[in-house]
Amino acid sequence: MSAATAPLAPIETAVFRTCPATGRRIDLSAERLVKVHAVSSVVSLLVGAVAAVLLVLTRWQAVHLLPAEWFYRILGVHGMSMLIFFIIFFEMAVLIFASTALLNARQVATKTAWAAFALMLAGALVVEWMMWSGNADVLFTSYVPLRADPKFYLGVILFAVGALVTVGLFFANLVYAKREQRYQGSLPLVVYGAVTAAIIAVITLVHGAAIYIPTYLWSLGLMEVDPQIYRLIWWGLGHSSQQINVAAMVAIWYMLGALTVGSVVLNEKISRSAFVLYVLFISMASAHHLLVDPGMGPAWKIVNTSYFMYMAVLASMIHGFTVPAGMELGMRLRGFTQGMFDWLRRAPWGDPGFSALIFSVVVFGFVGGITGVTIGTEQINIIVHNTLRVPGHFHATVVSGTAMAFMGATYYLIPLIFRKKVAFWPLAKIQPYLFAGGMLIFTLSMTFAGSFGVPRRHWDISFSGAPFDVQFNPIVDVVLAVVALGGLLAATGAFAFIAIAVASVFFGEPLGTIPKGVVVAGIPQGLTQPPVHAADVDTRSRALHDASRGLMGPTPGTIALVFVFLAAFVLYFFVNWKVLSFLWRIG
């Protein structure tokens, strides 16, 4: 990692401190902003995780904890707290961190930044108040014309405006960093990924404004909103916001890879082009939520979900190669050169930053990616729409992928930004295993239950009180119990994370310096023993890239792994077509 370009001028010491671990300049006001956003994020995670436990215990038919009204209410709380508040607060922290600490630059317009944070916080509190008080039982998607209290929509708007201002300040930070010559050369890939996330955030938040402002007026009785148009524009917000997550997550993958194993960037051109593909194509892909809707024709559905979506899929498949390949090459350049997988075996599995990274990549790619692309196919969507396969998919992407990456990043942010040791270190080392293991069970069994037609967002699949009986295959009861057990295991992992984060930040042991070369409990290995490439790194890299190594090139292990991935993808995709072809003829 490169150190700051020049020593601090005396006048700058009031603004910056120098990070003892990395030699970077850290703007003290940006640091405070990162802290409040990160803390708000973790508090939202706590609310969402408590809700998650109540939900899985209700869908576990043998326990069936909550009454119907509270099940739907808590489901709304879970969705908003997790997908919006937890994730977006954290993303704002990432944007501030990337545009200041990673560029040795300062935060501009700090007062505006605080005002934006206040707006976000106020919006989040209003939304939570409306949901808990039973004035917004409309669930996460809040489809018109199901009506919530106007204050609910207003809260969402306040939150979005605050986030939009923070994203604007991120761009301003970049401009000032360049103008004040805080760095030489181009933006690092990690920051470039954050820029991608920020651009998508703007697109998303504009969609949010375009739909929530009319919806707010509608809730006040001042105008009409067409339900199909609502669904169209709402998903421009609802799905694109998941694309902010993907871009932010991939940026964090590159960051954690660099910090934990000294990942190198194989080729800047390819990795950056893949980020550009996200920006260009991903927002249209929101169309895949409307594949079995009456409002749009097949041509519209095919164009938006094929060319446009698949170019974004291509981007993910590229990152899915370059991220592990960068890790493999980084390890090889440090001397772990034996065989195909020695680099993986010798990786720092006890470093929660590393294990979180690996699980994030694997579960996001194998479960989230493959299921997502498959259910985003116009016809296959017929057997998926609104079944448990949908939450099965997005818990693999957003929760196992994005949230896991955020957790891994937090283990590094605690010593770097909060200057504390990570509390409960032995627990921290196993936390990613708990969380990812639980999530893997949860998402796979949910996907399986959905294949039987079990609906999502449904309180009682025994259908007591319904005019006609519905007898699900008895295996469904077992599968839903497994869903609950996986969910409880994952929630345990989430609570462990929250306990670690809160204890570290508020009661943790302050960190003067980060000692190099020794193992210290409470400091991730990537900081105390930073990955160092061999002195003749360029010579070794050239040798690994030599044409004589054939198509497997410098990263044979990753090549083998991505072909396993491709085989799984092809198999799952075509099995779904096979299942589809057994249905009634529909046209």
| DSSP-assigned states of every residue in 5-16 | SSPPPGGGGGTE
CB of 145 to another protein, least distance (A): 6
What is the rounded distance in angstroms from the CA atom of residue 45 to the CA atom of residue 420? 21
CB of 316 to another protein, least distance (A): 9
Beta bridge partners of residue 510, listed in sequence order: 420
Kindly compute the dihedral angle of the four CA atoms of residues 29, 35, 36, 37, in this order, to the nearest 10 degrees: 110
Phi and psi at 455, nearest 5°, equal -75, 150
CA 254 to chain centre: 14
CB of 418 to another protein, least distance (A): 19
CB of 324 to another protein, least distance (A): 11
Contact (CB, 8 A) for 87 and 398: yes
Kindly compute the dihedral angle of the four CA atoms of residues 407, 258, 333, 356, in this order, to the nearest 10 degrees: 10
Angstrom CA distances, 349 to 39, 321, 504, stand at 27, 20, 21
Smaller CB separation from another protein, 397 or 431: 397
CB of 496 to another protein, least distance (A): 28
Contact (CB, 8 A) for 480 and 462: no
What is the rounded distance in angstroms from the CA atom of residue 578 to the CA atom of residue 570? 12
Smaller CB separation from another protein, 129 or 459: 459
- CB neighbourhood size of 80 (10 A): 28
Smaller CB separation from another protein, 57 or 318: 318
Smaller CB separation from another protein, 143 or 506: 143
CB of 56 to another protein, least distance (A): 17
What is the rounded distance in angstroms from the CA atom of residue 318 to the CA atom of residue 272? 10
Smaller CB separation from another protein, 273 or 338: 273
Smaller CB separation from another protein, 82 or 494: 82
Smaller CB separation from another protein, 326 or 487: 326
Smaller CB separation from another protein, 17 or 458: 458
CB of 509 to another protein, least distance (A): 26
Q: Which residue type sits at 490?
A: A
Smaller CB separation from another protein, 13 or 186: 186
Smaller CB separation from another protein, 339 or 509: 339
CB of 520 to another protein, least distance (A): 22
Smaller CB separation from another protein, 68 or 521: 68
Contact (CB, 8 A) for 519 and 315: no
Phi and psi at 236, nearest 5°, equal -60, -30
Phi and psi at 402, nearest 5°, equal -65, -55
Nearest-5° Cα angle at 322, 319 to 323: 80
3-state secondary structure 314-363: HHHHHHHHHHHHHHHHHHHCCCCCCCCCHHHHCCCCCCHHHHHHHHHHHH
CB of 433 to another protein, least distance (A): 25
Phi and psi at 21, nearest 5°, equal -80, -40
CB of 211 to another protein, least distance (A): 15
CB of 444 to another protein, least distance (A): 18
CB of 447 to another protein, least distance (A): 13
CB of 506 to another protein, least distance (A): 28
Q: Among all chains, which residue has been given the structure tokens 């949901």?
A: 131
Q: Among all chains, which residue has been given the structure tokens 């050169």?
A: 337
List CB contacts of 558: < 8 A, sequence separation 6 or more: 321, 324, 325, 328
- In eight-state DSSP terms, residue 523 is S
Q: Is the peptide bond before 145 cis (omega within 30 degrees of 0)?
A: yes
Contact (CB, 8 A) for 538 and 451: no
What is the rounded distance in angstroms from the CA atom of residue 159 to the CA atom of residue 85? 9
Q: At what angle do helices 425-451 and 475-507 cross, to 10 degrees?
A: 150
CB burial string 10-48: b at 16+ within 10 A, e below? eeeeebbbebbbbebbbbebbbbbbbbbbbbbbbbbbbb
CB of 300 to another protein, least distance (A): 10
CB of 446 to another protein, least distance (A): 14
Which of 458, 444, 432 minimizes the C-alpha distance to 487?
444
